[in-house]
Structure 1
Amino acid sequence: MHQPSLFESFLLGGFECSNHRRSDGRRLDMLDVTGHVEWASQDYALLQQFGINSVRDGLRWHLIESATGQYDWSSFLPILKAAERQGTQVIWDLCHYGWPDHIDIWRPQFVEHFARYAASVAQLVKDESDAVPYYSPLNEISFWSWAGGDEAYFNPMARGRGFELKHQLIRATIAAMDAIREVEPRARFVQVDPAIHVIASNDRPGPVRDAENFRLSQFQAWDMLCGELWPGLGGAPQYLDIVGVNYYSDNQWYLNGPVIERGSPDYRPLRGILSEIYHRYKRPLMVAETGAEGDLRGDWLRYVGEQVWLAMQHGVPVEGICLYPIVDYPGWTDERHCPVGLFGFPDANGQRPIHKGLADELKTQQARFDPSAEPAVLTNLGHE
């Protein structure tokens, strides 16, 4: 069985850090509205009480580079220092759907801007820490290309340009990785995208080939990075490092139809999805995002944990599971309270309520995946 070694804890916490512009032009800032900007140090310390020593967190490029080539680190440095102070290992999202308004994402200069910014981030992180740094350059290239390039759901609010946007994001990722490695050759990278399963409906016979082509589209960005698809973009094996798999309960559906429910005979077990991805790329994996809402939180983690454990028993090198988001957040489009986290919104003193159902299941998964965790830590789990 594979023995994970990359992260300080197998269970990670992910802080929602989207900062894109919605279709109505409003820019989101999830790190701010969830209270994490203000309470980062306390958030990291609280996670450590729950045996979580590694996290996904992010930068807000639009705040850092408000003018071309001029970097203001005041929005990032306090979070970086808080992580160092608490001894928390971080995978830093360099761009979570948002970029500065003065940069045109469709132009070649976008790639150059992003590479310079990435190098500057790498230098700052290197100056502040001796640890091996982890980065996720551009979050969910496939989803972003679809949502922003085909559906005009959020920026750049285009239709029919998804493949073009995907090419641009691949170029930018490659340039950023080269720039970071010039600064810090030890850097590791997590390339994150959703894992999906799509089939034609049994009760409404549909185009089986179309469904399979849709399913296979999940691999395009990873294939481009490693040079198997559109090699003229510059992809090569060294640009695919750790494959980050995002997986939620609605990641399987019938083509042009409803979600495939977990109890359905058409539902593909997660262990099979992870195995297929591993055997395609032969890279270490992590479940980079997973979670559920409300009272389903604990049950969903139980399912994901069981499936990951089974995959690992069969030699799939899964390095971690990231609960995402680890704190509740307001919905992107309607600002509704999304009860998804281990922790809720903070009070005036930065104290966050704990969801007992998820905490109880986390205790079980900690015992399975992190058996060396301190017993004193495990006894804290599950308490309000």
Structure 2
Amino acid sequence: MAQKGFLDIIKKQYGDGNYDGDQFGGAGGHDGTGLPNGNAGNFMFATGIECSYPTIKKGTVRRDQLRECGHYDRWREDLALVKDMGLRVLRYGLPYYAIHQGPGKFDWSFADEVMNEIKRLEIIPILDLMHFGVPDWIGNFQNPELPIHFADYAGAVAKRYPWVRYYTPVNEVYVTARISAKDGVWNEQLKTDKAFVTALKHLVAASIMGNQQIAKYRNDCVIVQSESAEYIHEVCATPSEETMLANESRFLALDLLYANPPSATMCMYLLDNGMTRKEYDWFMTGEPPGYQIMGNDYYGRNERIKLPDGSIHHSMDVLGWYQMTRQYYERYHKPVMHTETNVFEAEDAPMWLWKQWINVLQMRKDGVPVLGFTWYSLIDQIDWDSQLGQVNNRVNACGLYDLDRKPRPVAQAYRDLLKEFGQITIVPYGEMLEMTDRPARLKVVV
């Protein structure tokens, strides 16, 4: 009689598969599918509500996207849409320019209503405190008092909403300084290197001091520093000094924020354009408090090609989010979040969403900790094709929903993505890193 093998013995004793405990491991464990459930170690899928509010026309016109896109009238509906999408995380910006009415003076009437509803719906806000503009009484980013006034505001917000843990103190510092003080589109509308450096140092200092005040009330704060990933590809045998300077200066905001010494060229550029040695040393003292996440915003229009004739053209996906973000990650070695993306053509948006997600998956497979992904924004935007510089009232069809709050095709694509990947952990086997007492569930390395 042939001797029975171990498998025959196991099958006789325990049956042919579906063993006790399989649901907690590789044979029958959960594969990471299902809508996000808010577990601490899970990947953060998010959207955002566009909240830019710069001034144009020499400060006489305020471009408030919350107003122009109907959010002030339909904020309950908008928050309900976030919940209905199955999303748990929302990049949300309160209107700083309207709330902070003077030193120590705040109008919380709108903020309190919205924040109470966000809390009731159990949405996790990444609270955006300054988004391309400041109150009229502060003026613009050339004002050296900006850091202390913004710190006052950031501390007041953190004190008033102690349940909020995630913050973006100043959204896209580099873009804010460049478009306001180098490109001359917003706010101070200047076009000089000195104005750019002045705006940059005031904005980074504001972010740092605001971060300090947040940590005073939430010493476990998580700071998602959203910054635009930019690059100019110059198709010339000898790239111009202007292009080389632009490609180096894109790192300046994060260099100063994270106390990462810039290149010698950039140090001379800063000092030549108004930064003092004492100010530089202050920035290099150390990183802000809290847990720091490097958020990278990527739109295809972030990459530009400069041809030999000097003309500049947008260029979708020459490097893409993966290669662009990899440059930033290797410079700063911070956990990463894909904090903004969209396209203006509604019919192209679903495939753009999937392309961005494939970039995220590849980054994770290569060992970079990517904590979250954001389709920005929930609702269509107005006039972003002109960077808000012209009042054309042109709808940019980049939202999950249009301005009538009807879903665009990308909304269904995002639902499909969430259904497939909504419960993956931040890093493979990340549930172990939580040291949670919940039963093990995930098995798929995505």
TM-score class, shorter-chain normalisation, is 0.7 to 0.9
Q: CA RMSD in A?
A: 2.4
Q: Aligned partners of 1:6 and 1:93: how far apart in 2?
A: 21
Asked whether the equivalents of residues 149 and 165 of structure 1 are also in contact (C-alpha less than 8 Å), the reply is yes
5 Å-filtered alignment, 1:121-160, equals: 121-126=157-162, 129=163, 132-160=164-192
Alpha-carbon offset, residue 186 of structure 1 = 1.6
Q: 1:145 to 1:5 in 2, by over 3 A?
A: farther
Which residue of 189, 205, 212 corresponds with 1:178?
212
2:387 aligned with 1:329, yes or no? no
Q: Aligned partners of 1:65 and 1:363: how far apart in 2?
A: 37
2:75 aligned with 1:40, yes or no? yes
Q: 1:369 to 1:277 in 2, by over 3 A?
A: farther
Alpha-carbon offset, residue 6 of structure 1 = 6.2
Which residue of 246, 250, 265 corresponds with 1:214?
246
- Equivalent residue number for residue 126 of structure 2: 91
Q: 1:21 to 1:269 in 2, by over 3 A?
A: closer
Asked whether the equivalents of residues 174 and 234 of structure 1 are also in contact (C-alpha less than 8 Å), the reply is no
5 Å-filtered alignment, 1:41-80, equals: 41-80=76-115
Q: Aligned partners of 1:154 and 1:92: how far apart in 2?
A: 23
- Equivalent residue number for residue 366 of structure 1: 418
Give deviations 1:317-350, integer Å, cap 9, x for gaps. 111111112201221322111111111113xxxx
- Equivalent residue number for residue 15 of structure 2: none
Q: Aligned partners of 2:223 and 2:244: how far apart in 1?
A: 29
Q: 1:106 to 1:22 in 2, by over 3 A?
A: same
Q: Aligned partners of 1:27 and 1:236: how far apart in 2?
A: 35
- Equivalent residue number for residue 165 of structure 1: 199
Which residue of 300, 303, 317 corresponds with 2:369?
317
Asked whether the equivalents of residues 82 and 378 of structure 2 are also in contact (C-alpha less than 8 Å), the reply is no
Asked whether the equivalents of residues 99 and 106 of structure 2 are also in contact (C-alpha less than 8 Å), the reply is yes
Q: Aligned partners of 2:207 and 2:360: how far apart in 1?
A: 28
Asked whether the equivalents of residues 13 and 54 of structure 1 are also in contact (C-alpha less than 8 Å), the reply is yes
Residue identity opposite 1:50 in structure 2: M
TM-score, length-normalised on structure 2?
Answer: 0.74
Residue identity opposite 1:303 in structure 2: K
Which residue of 62, 65, 70 corresponds with 1:30?
65
- Equivalent residue number for residue 195 of structure 1: 229
Q: Aligned partners of 2:296 and 2:322: how far apart in 1?
A: 12
Q: Aligned partners of 2:305 and 2:39: how far apart in 1?
A: 37
Residue identity opposite 1:170 in structure 2: V
Asked whether the equivalents of residues 211 and 288 of structure 2 are also in contact (C-alpha less than 8 Å), the reply is no
Asked whether the equivalents of residues 225 and 235 of structure 1 are also in contact (C-alpha less than 8 Å), the reply is no
Asked whether the equivalents of residues 287 and 322 of structure 1 are also in contact (C-alpha less than 8 Å), the reply is yes
Asked whether the equivalents of residues 43 and 423 of structure 2 are also in contact (C-alpha less than 8 Å), the reply is no
Identical-residue share of aligned pairs (%)? 24
- Equivalent residue number for residue 243 of structure 1: 294
Alpha-carbon offset, residue 107 of structure 1 = 3.4
Asked whether the equivalents of residues 41 and 83 of structure 1 are also in contact (C-alpha less than 8 Å), the reply is no
Give the number of the structure with larger relative contact order, counting CA–CA contacts within 8 Å between residues 6 or more apart. 2
Asked whether the equivalents of residues 286 and 319 of structure 1 are also in contact (C-alpha less than 8 Å), the reply is yes
Aligned with 1:237: secondary structure? coil
Q: Aligned partners of 2:110 and 2:85: how far apart in 1?
A: 27
Alpha-carbon offset, residue 214 of structure 1 = 2.3
Q: Aligned partners of 1:51 and 1:96: how far apart in 2?
A: 26
Q: Aligned partners of 2:205 and 2:315: how far apart in 1?
A: 36
- Equivalent residue number for residue 343 of structure 1: 401
Aligned with 2:104: secondary structure? coil
Q: Aligned partners of 1:37 and 1:102: how far apart in 2?
A: 23
Gaps of 5+ in 2: 1-31, 33-37, 262-279, 426-446
2:406 aligned with 1:353, yes or no? yes
- Equivalent residue number for residue 9 of structure 2: none
Gaps of 5+ in 1: 347-351, 374-384
Asked whether the equivalents of residues 122 and 180 of structure 1 are also in contact (C-alpha less than 8 Å), the reply is yes
Asked whether the equivalents of residues 151 and 157 of structure 1 are also in contact (C-alpha less than 8 Å), the reply is yes
TM-score, length-normalised on structure 1?
Answer: 0.86
Residue identity opposite 1:326 in structure 2: L
Alpha-carbon offset, residue 197 of structure 1 = 2.4
Residue identity opposite 1:246 in structure 2: D
Residue identity opposite 2:205 in structure 1: R
Q: 1:49 to 1:337 in 2, by over 3 A?
A: same
- Equivalent residue number for residue 302 of structure 1: 354
Alpha-carbon offset, residue 231 of structure 1 = 3.5
Asked whether the equivalents of residues 167 and 221 of structure 2 are also in contact (C-alpha less than 8 Å), the reply is yes
Give the stretch that moved more between structures: 364-373 or 235-244: 364-373
